[in-house]
C-alpha cells in the first residue's frame, strides 16, 4: 500500500492553533510591525511546531490583486451550460474581473483536489464551481462558491430540475378542452426528466384526465418523432407534452407526416425556448428557462466573498416561464 498523503496545512490551521484570526497570521507573514509581541510569539511557536511555510504564490496573491476569477466544471463531451457561463462571465467583466473557465478531470474527489490546487496557485482570487465540491472553506486560501445548479455529470438539479410548469401546462390545455394527453419524457438518469414525468402523472390523475402513456426518450428529435409515429390512429391523444424543444420538434414533424394538423388536431408543448422553436412553422409553445439569472447571481455571490462584502440576497423569482405560441390550441371537439 502507498503511503497516505500528508494533509495540507493552511494558514487557517495556524491561526486556529495560535488562537488568532487568519488575517493576523497573514499580517505576521508580511512582517507587519503592528502585531503585539505576545501575538507574534504565539504564532512563532505554532509555525515552528508545524514547520509551516506559506505558499509564496498565494502570499503574492494576498499582497496584490490578480483581478482574475475562475469557473470550474467537470470535463464533459456533450453538456456545456453556455448560457449560464456567458451570463457569469458578463457579470465578472462588469465588475472589473477577468474570467477563465477550467474543465477539471476526474471523479468528485480528484476534482476537489485540483480545484484546491487552483485556489492555492495565486492565479485567481475566487472560484465558482458549477457542481458540488467537498471542500471545507478553511482549506482554501480564496473563496470557492458552488452554484448547486448541476450534478457531477453536469445534469441540471435543484431549480433546473423544477417540474412545476408541467402542472401549469396541463391546466392550460385542460382549460382549452383537452382530455387525452401523451408525454414524451427525457432520459430518466436526469433528475429533470424524472421530475417532469412525476408531475405529469400526478397532475393527470388529480385532474381526472386521461394519459395514453409516457414514452421514455433520450432528449433527441428522433425520439419525439418515433414516439408519435408509434401512436395508434385511434389513441385519442390531442395534447403532447415533450421533454424539450428538440423532442417537441420531432413530435410535430411526425404528427404532420401522419396528416395530423398542429394545433387543430394535436397540440404540442416543448421545453427550453430554443431559437429554432421561435422560427418554426408553426412556432413552438415552450417553457423558457432563465439560466442567465443563475450565472449572474452565483457570480455576484462569489465577487461579494472575494471583496469581503455581504452576499447579495437572491431575487424572488422562478427561472421558468411558459410561452404560448402556435402549436397550442383547442382540441377538435372544442372547435365544433
Domains and CATH numbers, the chain: 11-54 (1.10.260.40), 65-154 (3.40.50.2300), 158-289+321-335 (3.40.50.2300)
State the cell numbers at 197: 414525468
| Separation CA 294–CA 105 (nearest Å) | 24
Q: How many CB atoms lie within 10 A of CB 324?
A: 13
H or E element at residue 278: helix 275-279
| Separation CA 18–CA 41 (nearest Å) | 9
Q: Identify the pLDDT of residue 139.
A: 83
| Torsion over CA: 102, 103, 106, 112 (sign) | positive
pTM of the predicted protein model = 0.72
| Separation CA 321–CA 336 (nearest Å) | 31
H or E element at residue 184: strand 180-185
Contact call for residues 130 and 73 (beta carbons, < 8 A): yes
Give, for all 336 residues of the chain, the pLDDT tens digit. Answer: 444 445 667 778 888 888 988 778 777 765 555 678 788 788 888 888 887 766 644 544 444 577 899 998 887 655 678 888 899 999 998 888 999 988 888 888 888 888 889 988 888 999 998 888 888 777 889 999 888 777 766 677 777 778 899 999 999 999 999 999 999 999 999 989 999 999 999 999 999 999 999 999 999 999 999 999 999 999 999 999 999 999 999 999 999 999 999 999 999 999 999 999 999 999 999 999 888 888 888 899 999 999 888 888 877 778 899 999 999 999 998 766
Q: Identify the pLDDT of residue 76.
A: 65
Q: Identify the pLDDT of residue 173.
A: 98
| Separation CA 245–CA 230 (nearest Å) | 19
Contact call for residues 229 and 254 (beta carbons, < 8 A): yes
Q: Identify the pLDDT of residue 77.
A: 52
Amino acid at each position: 500500500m502507498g503511503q497516505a498523503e500528508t494533509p495540507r496545512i493552511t494558514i487557517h490551521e495556524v491561526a486556529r492553533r495560535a488562537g488568532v484570526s487568519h488575517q493576523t497570521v497573514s499580517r505576521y507573514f508580511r512582517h507587519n510591525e503592528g502585531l503585539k509581541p505576545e501575538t507574534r510569539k504565539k504564532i512563532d511557536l505554532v509555525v515552528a511546531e508545524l514547520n509551516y511555510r506559506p505558499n509564496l504564490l498565494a502570499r503574492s496573491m494576498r499582497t496584490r490583486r490578480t483581478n482574475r476569477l475562475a469557473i470550474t466544471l467537470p470535463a464533459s463531451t456533450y453538456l456545456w451550460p453556455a448560457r449560464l457561463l456567458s451570463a457569469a462571465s458578463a457579470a465578472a467583466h462588469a465588475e472589473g474581473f477577468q474570467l477563465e473557465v477550467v474543465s477539471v478531470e476526474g471523479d468528485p474527489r480528484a476534482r476537489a483536489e485540483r480545484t484546491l490546487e487552483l485556489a492555492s496557485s495565486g492565479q485567481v482570487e475566487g472560484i465558482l464551481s458549477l457542481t458540488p465540491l467537498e471542500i471545507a472553506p478553511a482549506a482554501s486560501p480564496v473563496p470557492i462558491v458552488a452554484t448547486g445548479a448541476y450534478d457531477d455529470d453536469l445534469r441540471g438539479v435543484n431549480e433546473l430540475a423544477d417540474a412545476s410548469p408541467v402542472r401549469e401546462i396541463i391546466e392550460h390545455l385542460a382549460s382549452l378542452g383537452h382530455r387525452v394527453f401523451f408525454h414524451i419524457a427525457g432520459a430518466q438518469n436526469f433528475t429533470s426528466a424524472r421530475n417532469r414525468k412525476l408531475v405529469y402523472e400526478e397532475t393527470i390523475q388529480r385532474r381526472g384526465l386521461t394519459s395514453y402513456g409516457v414514452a421514455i426518450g433520450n432528449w433527441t428529435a428522433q425520439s419525439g418523432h418515433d414516439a408519435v409515429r408509434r401512436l395508434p390512429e385511434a389513441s385519442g391523444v390531442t395534447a403532447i407534452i415533450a421533454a424539450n424543444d428538440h423532442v417537441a420538434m420531432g413530435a410535430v414533424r411526425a404528427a404532420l407526416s401522419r396528416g395530423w394538423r398542429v394545433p387543430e388536431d394535436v397540440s404540442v408543448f416543448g421545453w427550453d425556448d430554443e431559437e429554432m422553436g421561435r422560427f418554426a412553422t408553426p412556432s413552438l409553445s415552450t417553457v423558457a428557462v432563465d439560466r442567465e439569472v443563475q450565472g449572474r447571481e452565483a457570480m455576484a455571490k462569489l465577487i461579494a466573498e472575494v471583496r469581503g462584502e455581504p452576499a447579495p440576497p437572491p431575487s424572488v423569482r422562478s427561472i421558468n416561464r411558459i410561452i404560448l405560441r402556435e402549436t397550442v390550441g383547442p382540441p377538435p371537439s372544442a372547435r365544433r
